[in-house]
């Protein structure tokens, strides 16, 4: 099989296309013929120094794939050959609270093998049925970005119809959050530093869009747009770089779901968290049980994932460069095979 690896033998890490033996499943593993792989910001960290300290770098990158089961181990009972499936981000997190034992990174700090290959071996409990309503490209976007947005909005402090949700930027998690919040009956205020993305964000369900220049103190503007009292919930993808403005935008007693750190770091005081009784919650993707609840919502009419662009497998480095350039709205996907 062909696979892309992170080659660290040179001065800087690069993607390299290699050929490896086709994998064989263990007793409780499955082999999936990969049809689509979705990129996440974390996939850029080992390759693009300006995005900050890298996460534990696997040999083969990427975590989110959709495809077809082509072989199963002798003790597998959950799936069968021919099933169309999606990988899960943290296979051992089946339900209940997050813990060190269910985290994706291994105890020694290493990362599990990625999915940017023609075939991947996954534990049988590490795959989910692909939603019938989706293409493989759409389904590949679910494991990380979609589930993170779902977790933030519906699992910890669920939003309610009529509330106001603030999103930041036009990346995968933010677009999913717009779609999900609007579907749930919330009003969405979407901000973006790229004016050209505002129309697209409105088409995904944002009732109000706001162009925010770099370093602009936009938090008070959002508060006014939310009736003067602030938004009920912020899906915060900028981290330390935008948190100060999110704290100004959220209402007293509101919630900020901290799911990323995409913006350049900036000074921030946490005094409003206590003074305004704000719930500041960290969100790390989600469990298999959350994934099941999210997929059920898709079957009930949750809008389909927004795929910005699909790159051929041979052009994987171009897909990484395109995402690093920040020109996407929604998800960037690498396609491996044509549908059969």
Residue 314 has pLDDT above 80, yes or no: yes
The pLDDT value recorded for residue 203 is 98
Q: How confident is the model at residue 76 (pLDDT cuts 50, 70, 90)?
A: very high
Question: In this structure, is residue 150 part of a structural domain?
Answer: no
State pLDDT tens for residues 126-185: 999 999 999 999 999 999 999 999 999 999 989 999 999 999 999 999 999 999 999 999
The first and second tokens of residue 324, run together, are 């690093």
- Structural domain count, the chain: 2
User: In this structure, are 274 and 188 located in the same domain?
Assistant: yes
Q: How confident is the model at residue 105 (pLDDT cuts 50, 70, 90)?
A: low
| pLDDT greater at residue 322 or residue 241 | 322
pTM confidence score: 0.93
User: In this structure, are 258 and 294 located in the same domain?
Assistant: no
Give the integer Cα–Cα distance in Å for 67 and 57: 23
Nearby residues of 313 by Cβ (< 8 Å), 6 or more positions away: 2, 118, 334, 335, 336
Question: In this structure, is residue 170 part of a structural domain?
Answer: yes
CATH of the domain at 297: 3.90.180.10
The first and second tokens of residue 301, run together, are 């009419």
Give the integer Cα–Cα distance in Å for 210 and 32: 42
Give the integer Cα–Cα distance in Å for 162 and 93: 32
The pLDDT value recorded for residue 108 is 46
The first and second tokens of residue 174, run together, are 């933010």
Lowest mean pLDDT among 3-7, 49-53, 83-87, 230-234: 49-53
User: In this structure, are 272 and 312 located in the same domain?
Assistant: no
- Mean pLDDT on 298-308: 97
CB atoms within 10 A of CB 240: 15
Give the integer Cα–Cα distance in Å for 104 and 239: 21
User: In this structure, are 18 and 114 located in the same domain?
Assistant: yes
- Enclosing domain of residue 107: 2-144+286-335
User: In this structure, are 196 and 115 located in the same domain?
Assistant: no
Give the integer Cα–Cα distance in Å for 92 and 82: 23
Give the integer Cα–Cα distance in Å for 100 and 106: 9
User: In this structure, are 91 and 30 located in the same domain?
Assistant: yes
Question: In this structure, is residue 340 part of a structural domain?
Answer: no
| Nearest partner of 5 among 18, 22, 24, judged by Cα | 18
Look at residues 282, 305, 320 and tell me which one is the last residue of a structural domain.
282
- Mean pLDDT on 309-318: 98
User: In this structure, are 302 and 272 located in the same domain?
Assistant: no
State pLDDT tens for residues 174-233: 999 999 999 999 999 999 999 999 999 999 999 999 999 867 889 999 999 999 999 999
- Mean pLDDT on 13-26: 95
Strand 279-282 and strand 307-312: the pairing is: unpaired
Look at residues 282, 300, 321 and tell me which one is the last residue of a structural domain.
282
The pLDDT value recorded for residue 339 is 46
The first and second tokens of residue 194, run together, are 């790229």
Q: Any idea of the CA torsion for 124, 127, 133, 137, to the nearest 10 degrees? A: -130
The pLDDT value recorded for residue 265 is 57
Mean of the per-residue pLDDT values of the chain: 91
Residue 297 has pLDDT above 90, yes or no: yes
Question: In this structure, is residue 241 part of a structural domain?
Answer: yes
């Amino acid at each position: 099989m062909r696979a892309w690896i992170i080659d660290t033998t040179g001065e800087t890490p690069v993607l390299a296309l290699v050929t490896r033996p086709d994998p064989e499943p263990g007793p409780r593993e499955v082999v999936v013929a990969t049809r689509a792989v979705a990129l996440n910001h974390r996939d850029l960290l080992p390759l693009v120094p300006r995005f900050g300290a890298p996460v534990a770098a696997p040999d083969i990158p990427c975590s989110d794939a959709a495809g077809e089961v082509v072989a199963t181990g002798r003790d597998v009972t959950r799936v069968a050959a021919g099933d169309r499936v999606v990988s899960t981000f943290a296979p051992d997190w089946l339900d209940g609270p997050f813990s060190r034992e269910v985290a994706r990174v291994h105890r020694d700090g290493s990362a599990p093998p990625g999915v940017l290959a023609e075939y991947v071996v996954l534990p049988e409990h590490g795959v989910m049925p692909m939603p019938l309503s989706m293409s493989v490209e759409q389904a590949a976007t679910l494991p990380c970005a979609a589930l993170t947005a779902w977790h933030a909005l519906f699992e910890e402090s669920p939003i309610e119809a009529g509330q106001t949700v603030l999103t930041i930027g036009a990346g995968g998690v933010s677009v999913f959050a717009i779609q999900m919040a609007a579907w749930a009956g919330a009003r969405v205020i979407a901000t973006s530093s790229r004016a050209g993305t505002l129309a697209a964000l409105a088409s995904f369900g944002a009732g109000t869009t706001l162009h925010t220049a770099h370093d602009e103190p936009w938090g008070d503007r959002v508060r006014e747009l939310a009736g003067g009292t602030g938004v009920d919930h912020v899906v915060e993808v900028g981290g330390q770089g935008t948190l100060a403005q999110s704290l100004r935008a959220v209402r007293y007693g509101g919630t900020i779901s901290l799911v990323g750190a995409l913006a350049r770091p900036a000074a921030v005081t946490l005094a409003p968290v206590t003074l305004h009784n704000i719930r500041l919650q960290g969100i790390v993707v989600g469990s298999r049980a959350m994934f099941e609840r999210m997929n059920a919502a898709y079957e009930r009419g949750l809008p389909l994932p927004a795929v910005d662009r699909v790159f051929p497998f041979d052009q994987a480095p171009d897909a990484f460069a395109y995402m690093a350039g920040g020109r996407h709205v929604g998800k960037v996907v690498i396609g491996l095979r044509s549908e059969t």
